[in-house]
A and B are shown apart, each in its own frame.
Chain A
Amino acid sequence: MILRVVLFIAIFICVTAIIGNNLKREDEGPLMSLVYGLIVSWALAFAVGVPLIIMKKPLSLMRLILVVLYALLFATGVFSLVKRKRCNKDRGQITPFKSSEMIYLGLFLGIVAFQLYKTIFYAYADGDDAFYVAAARVAEASDKMYLTDAYLGTPSEILYRYALAPFPMWEAVLAQASGIQTTLLAHLILPPVLIVVTYIVYNEIGKLLFGVESREKRFMFLTLTAVFELFSNVSTSTSGTFLLTRARQGKEALACIILPLLFYELFRLVKAEGDITVKDFFVLLSTVLAASLSSLLGNILTSIMLAGAVLWMIIRKKRFKNMVIISAPVLISIMTVLLYIKLR
Chain B
Amino acid sequence: MGRMLDNLRDYSGSGLLFVLLLISIVFLGFRVKRGAVKTMTVYLPIFVLAVFFCPLWGIYMGQENDGEILYRILWMIPAAVIVCYALIEAIHMVPEKFKAVSFVTAVLIVIVSGKYIYASPFFSKAENCYHVPQVVVDICDDIRVEGREVRACFPIEHIQYVRQYTPYVCLSYGRTVLLGNGFNQYSNVEQFLDEETIDTAGLVEELRRVDNHYLILESDRKMTEDLNKYGYIFIKTYDKYSLYLDEQAYLGTEYR
Contact = CB atoms under 8 A, between A and B. Distances in A.
A238 interface: yes
B29 to A, nearest CB: 15
Contacts of A228: 17, 79-80, 83-84, 110, 114
Contact of B79 (A153, A210, A239): A239
B106 A224 contact: yes
A60 interface: no
A141 B169 CA distance: 12
Contact of A237 (B11, B16, B117, B122): B11
Nearest to A273: B36
A134 B166 CA distance: 8
Given A137-B167, A154-B186, A238-B79, A224 B111 contact: no
B164 A225 contact: no
A109 interface: no
Contacts of A271: 36
Given A153-B169, A229-B80, A233-B114, A118 B123 contact: yes
Interface string B160-179: 11011111111111111010
A234 interface: yes
B248 interface: no
Contact of B76 (A122, A188, A259, A311): A259
B174 A130 contact: yes
Interface residues of A, number: 78
Nearest to B81: A205
Given A209-B85, A263-B40, A254 B167 contact: no
Interface stretch (A30-38, A90-98, A144-152): A144-152
B238 to A, nearest CB: 18
B170 A121 contact: no
A123 B37 contact: no
Interface in A197-228: 202, 205, 208-210, 217, 220-221, 223-225, 227-228
A193 interface: no
Contacts of B79: 228, 232, 238-240
Interface string A126-166: 11011101100110111000001111111000000000000
Contacts of A205: 78, 81
Instruction: Report the contact-size class of chain B (Cβ under 8 Å from the partner).
Output: 35 or more
Contact of B130 (A138, A183, A239, A297): A183
Interface stretch (A43-51, A65-73, A74-82, A301-309): A301-309
A11 interface: no
Contact of A231 (B11, B111, B126, B165): B111
Given A122-B123, A150-B163, A231-B110, A131 B47 contact: no
B76 A305 contact: yes
Contacts of B123: 118, 122-124
A267 interface: yes
A257 to B, nearest CB: 11
A230 interface: yes
B13 to A, nearest CB: 3
B241 interface: no
A154 B174 CA distance: 11
Contact of A130 (B12, B87, B130, B163): B163
A332 to B, nearest CB: 18
B58 interface: no
B73 interface: yes
B21 to A, nearest CB: 10
A88 interface: no
A270 B39 contact: yes
B126 A123 contact: yes
Contact of A187 (B12, B37, B118, B130): B130
Given A126-B122, A141-B168, A221-B88, 5 more contacts: A227-B111, A229-B80, A230-B118, A240-B117, A244-B118
The 7 closest A-B pairs by CB, nearest first: A235-B13, A231-B114, A151-B174, A153-B170, A234-B15, A130-B160, A123-B131
28 contacts: A120-B126, A122-B123, A124-B122, A130-B159, A140-B167, A148-B167, A149-B174, A153-B167, A154-B170, A221-B84, A224-B83, A224-B106, A228-B79, A228-B84, A230-B116, A230-B118, A233-B119, A235-B11, A237-B72, A238-B17, A239-B75, A239-B80, A263-B78, A271-B36, A301-B73, A301-B75, A305-B76, A312-B39
Interface of A: 118, 120-127, 129-131, 133-134, 137-138, 140-142, 148-154, 181, 183-184, 186-188, 202, 205, 208-210, 217, 220-221, 223-225, 227-241, 244-245, 251, 254-255, 259-260, 263, 266-267, 270-271, 295, 297, 301, 304-305, 308, 311-312
